Amino acid sequence: MSTAWRTSPDHENEGWPKGVPYIVGNEMCERFSYYGMRAILTVHLVALYQLTGAAESIAKDKATAAYHLFAGAVYAFPMLGAILADRFWGKYRTILWLSLMYCVGHGVLAVADIPTDPNTRLTLVGVGLACIAIGAGGIKPCVSANVGDQFGRANWGKVQTIYQIFYFSINFGSFFATLLIPAIRGDGSEPWRTALAFGIPGVLMGIATFFFWLGRDKFVHVPAQPGGRLGKLDTAAGSLLFLALGHLFITPADFGWWRAVISLVFIAAGFGVFKYRQSLEQDDGFLAILIYNLAAKLRGGDANAELADADHDSSSPLLKSATWSKFWGPAIQKFGVAATEGPYAVFKVCTIFIFIPIFWAIFDQHGSTWILQAQSMDCTLFGVEVQPEQIAAWNPLMVMLLIPIMNAVYRISKGIGFEWTPLRRMVIGLFMSGGSFAVAAIAQRMIDAQGPGVVSVWWQVLAYLILTTSEVLVSITALEFAYTQAPKRMKSVVMGLFLLTVTLGNAFVSALTSAKDSIASMLNTEFGQAEFFWFFCWAAVVVGVLMALRARVYIQHDYAQD
């Protein structure tokens, strides 16, 4: 790493950091790449499954399950990127090198239609999606955390604004990709158009990577800790332990019980590497502190004695809580308050994150079940017939419009005595996400009653308006919340955990879709698309109530970058 690169932000700078334009430009191109590919993925998978001989309804269910499994993988692999960035490579090198894997994945998708055998084509699509999941997933927590790393004490107040700009750039790229790429692919009957539709996102990803490289001398490069040999061992141990579950996204389902064996091998190897690393030098990272503290608690001992040397006058939120400072007492005594506060903060944030997966289970269906629903609707908007895949462009367009509108709402509400705190925004957003699926369910009932091509797609536009408002309240806020609530050494890890909520939501949709027929048979009732939508509507209401109860007693603590 160049010695000329800054390793900490300029705390005297009250303006915008110099690296911000390169990060925003990179994100805009990368998001065009990702959402352009994703806009046509479901319909492409349906066509491929039908070519293998599957009936239309079965092909749609298989495509939906595969789409959400891929989306889940994209948001699971951030844990690998977070470990690699925090422990060994640093965020810059992690983003740069994994972006190349991302480009390879797009390249494979672009040539996947060359073979004539549909099963071979499905295999190639799977390989391409796996590469994209590793590349895109690996850089996700690093890009988000890298934004916050650029800000110091003097311009810390701009963090909320930069995440909104960051999110605006995501949707700017997504909007044009969702309009352009489906139009290029057409109905999928011409292979060269399909190859071009998948190839253009790859070109944009290459541009994104180059743009990020141009900003290398402008960025704050927070060094990985500990780096070197120990960093390699930390990365190996953490990655092996993650892959105990993470491999399920890339190993074939027909492996059966071998998947359990593979998980056990990863766990054994991970703990073996971790034990060896600890024998070289005691680590004070998340896993080391957690294991030490649990082992000490199991051995028993006098918690008060363990805390005797702790600074009880500290402003640390950990020491302000008698219950949790007692629980973490052995770790505080061994590693100190500052190090122990990291795992404590992670678990604390997770008590909020646990409610977020239902939002993603709902939101990400605008790329699967909502596209399939639109295929049965009258897709005429303002007198122009559009493709079902292009309806999703309403989402990024509405995000760009709603961000300034909601900012005005926040200011006006504050003036009349109602503060839109991050937790309030997320709770209200969860309820609204359920409302969007109520509209989708009503529209599906009308489709079932009137037949395809009759019900106007304007019903979906209404659902998109509600869903996008929910997105602005939940997703943007949670991104900011994840960064500000994490101590410096845990920022990428917490970002990875936040993105893991997307994985859980998508994995749930994938599993539920695959089990629809079994559930209907078990309950001896119909479980069609309308019932599927109503299920998620009421699930969001129940989870929203539970999150509201947790939010009432959650105490926020912001950690600015040093």
Distances (CA, A) of 311 to 42, 297, 555: 56, 21, 21
Q: Residues with Cβ < 8 Å from 147, sequence gap 6 or more?
A: 20, 23, 162, 163, 166, 483
What's the whole-model pTM score? 0.85
Q: Write the CA distances from 254 to 248, 258, 346, 364, 421, integer angstroms.
A: 11, 9, 35, 26, 46
Strand partners, 532: none
Most distant CA pair in the chain, distance = 76
Q: How far apart are CA 65 and CA 550, in angstroms?
A: 32
Amino acid (1-letter code) at residue 249: F
Q: Which residues belong to CATH 1.20.1250.20 in the chain?
A: 20-226+354-551
Helix (H), strand (E), coil (C) string for 389-435: HHHHHHHHHHHHHHHHHHHHHHHHHHHCCCCCCHHHHHHHHHHHHHH
End-to-end CA distance of the chain: 20
Contact 201, 177 (CB under 8 A): yes
Q: Decide if 106 contacts 262 (C-beta within 8 A).
A: no
Interval 243-263: pLDDT, tens: 998 888 877 777 788 899 999
Residue 46's contacts (CB-CB under 8 Å, 6 or more residues apart) are 56, 59, 60, 63, 372
The Cα–Cα gap between 64 and 513 comes to 7
Output phi, psi for 312, to 5 deg: -75, -5
Cβ atoms 420, 349 nearer than 8 A = no
Which regions of the chain are under pLDDT 50? Answer: 1-2, 305-306, 308-309, 312-313
| Interhelix angle 56-76/20-51, nearest 10 degrees | 150
Helix (H) or strand (E) holding 384: strand 384-385
- pLDDT tens across 398-444, in order? 988 998 899 899 999 988 988 898 999 999 999 999 999 999 999 99
Q: Which one-letter amino acid corresponds to residue 559?
A: Y
User: What pLDDT does 364 receive?
Assistant: 95
Nearest to 392 by CA among 200, 177, 199, 202: 177
- Run of H or E residues at 75: helix 56-76
- Decide if 342 contacts 490 (C-beta within 8 A): yes
CA gap 68, 443 in Å, rounded: 22
Q: Which of 114, 55, 527 is nearest to 63 (CA)?
A: 55
Residues in the chain: 562
Domain 20-226+354-551 listed as CATH 1.20.1250.20: yes
